[in-house]
Amino acid sequence: MSTAAPATASSGFLDLLTVSFIGRYRYRPLHLFGGLGLLLGAVGFAVLVYLTILKLDGHAIGQRPLLILGVLLVVVGLQFFSLGLISELITSQHEERADTRERMELHVDEVLS
């Protein structure tokens, strides 16, 4: 008897999304996280500029939820961008180690043959 759960259309779709995500962004994570971070940061900055204009016009902005949203978007945008930079560093370090390991294997094969 098999205890595996039957495959559904949604799990196949999620597998397709996973393969697509890994194929696109495995070696360039900054393209994903940096782009998302810049987008969120730009929207947050635009919200804060709008609120600054309202404040200069004499309106009270301290009790507006839009102020919290603007600050949140800027902070989350910075975090996503930072995550992309860190991921890029990890990816490049992994590639350098893989290249070194491959060169060592070629050297061993050359010596043995």
pLDDT tens digits, one per residue of 6-57:
556 678 888 888 888 888 777 788 888 899 999 999 999 999 999 999 999 9
Contact 41, 92 (CB under 8 A): no
Q: pTM for this structure?
A: 0.68
What is the structure's pLDDT at 67?
Answer: 94
Q: Is the pLDDT of residue 64 over 60?
A: yes
More reliable by pLDDT, 41 or 98: 41
User: Considering Cα of 54, then 72, then 22, then 2, what sign does the dihedral take?
Assistant: negative
Q: Return the pLDDT at 81.
A: 94
Percent of the chain surpassing pLDDT 90 = 42
**Length of the chain as a residue count:** 113
Residue with tokens 């975090």: 79
Higher pLDDT, 106 or 3: 106
Average pLDDT, integer, range 84-91: 89
Listed residue (80, 8, 9, 10) closest to 43, CA to CA: 80
Q: Is the pLDDT of residue 4 over 70?
A: no
**pLDDT > 70? residue 79:** yes
